[in-house]
Amino acid sequence: MIVDAHVHLKHGDVYRTEYSPETIVETMNGAGIDLSIVFAISTTTRRSIEMALEARRKFPERLIPFVYALPSYERPVIEELRYAIVDLGFKGIKIHAGECSLAEYIIDPVISLAENLKVPCLIDCVGRHLDIKRIAECFPNAKIIVAHFGKYLCEDEGLIDKFMSLAEAHENIYLDTSGVLLTHKIREAAEKVGSNRIVFGTDGPQREPDTVSFTIKEVRKIKSLNLKTEDEENILGRTILEILGI
Ligand SMILES: [Zn+2]
């Protein structure tokens, strides 16, 4: 069973690329992915609910919806998040520090809600390890999945080490393999932190070179580490299924 824990219906790239549920499932079929967590970013929380809801309606056996938290002064989103999780059955919350602050007064109500409702938060913290440290300490029962091992396409080994140390110190921190260039750090994390705290993700779809090849490359990234079978199975699916209670 391979689960991709990081798939965009809408990306945060400069082009704000969108991918249909059909394209995502075709990509999964081509790359041998069984389940994907899907979400939209760079949009409102309400629109992210609509997009992920449509995706799950079309492919309820393949796509797991997360809701995008975009707290703002203009409109409180906590009730929308609660509605998506409690009434619509969404399985988690996506947070992107590129688009909203991780300051206490902005993000803590979101993390608190996730903790109370027992759903994980997938956070792209854009390298801000001190914010993750604070959140993990303040909300010990919230499951925090740190996208990209801390920073997308990071080549600074020292920064990744900071996130690995945080994960070693806090059992509620998980690390997502999408956008990790220094792949030997994934093996190191499996040894130091444990494969039961690492989740596979692609940050797809990506059109370069094409969506299927990109996703296959990400799966191979894990398989080429030649981990113990149990560790490989944990990273490729079991850990995220455990987090989601599936
Ligand atoms: Zn992403």
Q: Identify the pLDDT of residue 80.
A: 94
**Each residue of 18-52: pLDDT tens digit?**
999 999 999 999 999 999 999 999 999 999 999 99
Please answer whether residues 80 and 45 qualify as being in contact, where contact means their C-beta atoms are separated by less than 8 angstroms: yes
CATH of domain 3-244: 3.20.20.140
Q: How far is CA 173 from CA 17, 21, 103, in A?
A: 29, 29, 18
Distance from Cα 45 to the centre of ligand 1, integer Å: 16
Buried b (16+ CB within 10 A) or exposed e, 80-118: bbebbbeeeebbbbbbbbebbebeeeebbbbbebbbeee
> Looking at per-residue confidence, does 139 or 74 come out higher?
139
Q: What is the DSSP secondary-structure string of 2-33?
A: -EEEEEEEE--STT--B--HHHHHHHHHHHT-
Q: Identify the pLDDT of residue 71.
A: 83
In terms of Cα–Cα distance, which of 207, 230, 219 is closest to 183? 219
Distance from Cα 207 to the centre of ligand 1, integer Å: 14
Distance from Cα 6 to the centre of ligand 1, integer Å: 6
Confidence of residue 73 (pLDDT cuts 50, 70, 90): low
Distance from Cα 228 to the centre of ligand 1, integer Å: 27
Distance from Cα 88 to the centre of ligand 1, integer Å: 23
CA 204, distance to chain mean position in Å, is: 11
Q: Identify the pLDDT of residue 74.
A: 61
Distance from Cα 38 to the centre of ligand 1, integer Å: 10
Q: Identify the pLDDT of residue 14.
A: 86
Is the per-residue pLDDT at 216 higher than 90? yes
Distance from Cα 240 to the centre of ligand 1, integer Å: 16
**Each residue of 89-107: pLDDT tens digit?**
999 999 999 999 999 999 9
Please answer whether residues 86 and 54 qualify as being in contact, where contact means their C-beta atoms are separated by less than 8 angstroms: no
137-144 average pLDDT score: 98
Distance from Cα 18 to the centre of ligand 1, integer Å: 12
Domain ranges across the chain: 3-244
Distance from Cα 235 to the centre of ligand 1, integer Å: 18
Distance from Cα 153 to the centre of ligand 1, integer Å: 11
Distance from Cα 233 to the centre of ligand 1, integer Å: 22
